[in-house]
C-alpha cells in the first residue's frame, strides 16, 4: 500500500515538473520572438533614418553642385557688374581711336595733296595753295565727309570732297595777292569773276591791264 502511494506521488511530481518545463519553454519562446520582433523594428527604424539622412545628404550635395555651377557660369560669362565696365572701357577706347584718327587726318590729307599724288597727270591732280590749305578746318570737313557716307582713310576721296566743299576764306583775295607777289613779284590790279569759284587776275604790263592767271577762290591754286 505504501509502495502504491509512493508511485502515485512520483507520477504526480513528474507531471508537475513536465508542466513547469513546458511553461518555461513557452515563456522563453515568447521572449525570443518578442526580442526578434523588437530587433526587426529597430532595424527598420534605423533603415528609415539612414534613408532620410542619405536623401538629405544627396539633396544638399545637389544644391551645392548647382550653386557652384551657377557661380562658375557667372564668372565665365561675366557678372552684371563687370559687363558695363567692359563696355564702357571698349566705348572709351573707340572714342579715343576716333579722335586720334580725326587729328591724324589733317596731316595725312595735307601731305597727300602737296606731296603724295605721285605720277598722276597734272590735269588730274588735286591742287591747293599751301597758304589756303593751312586755313582749312580739316577735321570739321572730315566729320561731314564721313557723315555723308565717305570712306574713312580714303585720302584721295576725301581730298576731292574737301576741294569741292571747303568754305571760301573771307580774305581769300588778300591771301592770293600775297601768294602771287611772293612767288612772281607781280601785283594784282583787278579780279574778274569767271564761274563758280574761279577768277581771272589782271596785272599791269607795259602800262596796260593784262590777264595773268586764273585762280580758285576756294583753294588759292592759280595757273596761267
pLDDT at 24: 41
What's the predicted TM-score (pTM) here? 0.57
User: At residue 33, does pLDDT exceed 50?
Assistant: no
Domain boundary among 77, 99, 133: 77
The verdict on 155 and 177 lying in the same domain is no
Between 185 and 5, the higher pLDDT residue = 185
Q: Report pLDDT digits (tens) over 202-216.
A: 999 999 999 999 999
The verdict on 9 and 29 lying in the same domain is yes
The verdict on 141 and 172 lying in the same domain is no
pLDDT at 151: 95
The verdict on 133 and 93 lying in the same domain is yes
Average pLDDT, the chain: 73
Determine contact, residues 161/141, Cβ cutoff 8 Å.
yes
User: At residue 31, does pLDDT exceed 70?
Assistant: no
Domain with 98 in it = 84-165
User: At residue 138, does pLDDT exceed 70?
Assistant: yes
The verdict on 99 and 151 lying in the same domain is yes
Domain boundary among 77, 96, 120: 77
pLDDT at 153: 80
The verdict on 161 and 88 lying in the same domain is yes
The verdict on 56 and 30 lying in the same domain is yes
3-state secondary structure 54-82: HHHHHHHHHHHHHHHHHHHHHHHHCCCCH
The verdict on 58 and 109 lying in the same domain is no
The verdict on 117 and 186 lying in the same domain is no
User: At residue 50, does pLDDT exceed 60?
Assistant: no
Domain boundary among 22, 45, 77: 77
CA distance 6 to 87: 118
User: At residue 17, does pLDDT exceed 90?
Assistant: no
Number of domains in the chain: 3
Share of residues in the chain with pLDDT > 90 (%): 50
Give the closest residue to 161 by CA, choosing from 174, 149, 178: 149
The verdict on 176 and 113 lying in the same domain is no
76-85 mean pLDDT: 47
The verdict on 197 and 158 lying in the same domain is no
Q: How confident is the model at residue 103 (pLDDT cuts 50, 70, 90)?
A: low
Q: Report pLDDT digits (tens) over 139-153.
A: 999 999 999 999 998
The verdict on 190 and 151 lying in the same domain is no
Between 14 and 201, the higher pLDDT residue = 201
C-alpha cell at 180: 602771287
Determine contact, residues 128/219, Cβ cutoff 8 Å.
yes
User: At residue 48, does pLDDT exceed 80?
Assistant: no
Amino acid at each position: 500500500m505504501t509502495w502504491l502511494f509512493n508511485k502515485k506521488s512520483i507520477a504526480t511530481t513528474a507531471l508537475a515538473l513536465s508542466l513547469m518545463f513546458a511553461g518555461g519553454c513557452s515563456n522563453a519562446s515568447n521572449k525570443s520572438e518578442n526580442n526578434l520582433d523588437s530587433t526587426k523594428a529597430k532595424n527598420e527604424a534605423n533603415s528609415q533614418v539612414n534613408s532620410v539622412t542619405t536623401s538629405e545628404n544627396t539633396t544638399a550635395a545637389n544644391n551645392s553642385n548647382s550653386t557652384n555651377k551657377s557661380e562658375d557660369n557667372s564668372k565665365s560669362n561675366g557678372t552684371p557688374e563687370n559687363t558695363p565696365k567692359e563696355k564702357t572701357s571698349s566705348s572709351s577706347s573707340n572714342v579715343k581711336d576716333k579722335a586720334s584718327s580725326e587729328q591724324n587726318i589733317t596731316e595725312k590729307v595735307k601731305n597727300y595733296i602737296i606731296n603724295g599724288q605721285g605720277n598722276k597727270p597734272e590735269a588730274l591732280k588735286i591742287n591747293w595753295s599751301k597758304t589756303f590749305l593751312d586755313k582749312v578746318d580739316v577735321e570739321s570737313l572730315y566729320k561731314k565727309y564721313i557723315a555723308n557716307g565717305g570712306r574713312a582713310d580714303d585720302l584721295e576721296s576725301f581730298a576731292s570732297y574737301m576741294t569741292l566743299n571747303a568754305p571760301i576764306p573771307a580774305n581769300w583775295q588778300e591771301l592770293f595777292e600775297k601768294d602771287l607777289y611772293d612767288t612772281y613779284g607781280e601785283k594784282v590790279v583787278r579780279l574778274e569773276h569767271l564761274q563758280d569759284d574761279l577768277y581771272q587776275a589782271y596785272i599791269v604790263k607795259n602800262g596796260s591791264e593784262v590777264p595773268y592767271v586764273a585762280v580758285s577762290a576756294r583753294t588759292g591754286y592759280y595757273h596761267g
